[in-house]
Structures are given as structure tokens and as C-alpha cells.
Amino acid sequence: MERDILRVYRCARGQERPDIAEFMLAALEKLDREREGFPLTERPLMEAYRDIASRPGEPRCAAQRLSTSKSEPHS
């Protein structure tokens, strides 16, 4: 389930929907508290945090990348 939530979180960020992204991040945080025995590097929540730190605003959703590439004028 966490992988699906992470995917939706990334799409929400890419589509400039911080309200939805924040909701998905909260869901990841809740689920992460229940999985404390897993290594930090394998937790989807840590991936979301890395996305925030390393790619602020970069589209992560395939649908967003497609719509962006179609709407940009070609030189």
C-alpha cells in the first residue's frame, strides 16, 4: 500500500496539488510509524522525504510529464 501512496504523492506534487501531496505524506507517516522494524532506506516515507529535499517541484508522475511535454512549444 505504501508504494501506491508514494506514487500518488509524487503525482500530486508533479501536478502542483500540495493539498493532496500533504494528505498522502501524512498517510505515509502514519503507516511508517507502524513499520518501525524495517530499515530506513527501504521505507517509502524516506523516499518521499528525499524527493522533497532533492527535487522540489520536479514532476514525478508519468501523466504530468506527458502533458507537460505536449504543451511545451518545440524550438
Classify residue 32 by burial, with Cβ atoms within 10 Å: 0-12, 13-18, 19+. Answer: middle
Q: How far is CA 62 from the centre of its chain?
A: 12
CA distance 45 to 62: 20
pLDDT for residue 54: 84
From first to last of the 75 residues of the chain, give the pLDDT tens digit. Answer: 999 999 999 999 999 999 999 999 999 999 998 887 777 767 899 999 999 898 655 555 654 444 444 444 444
Strands (E), the chain: none
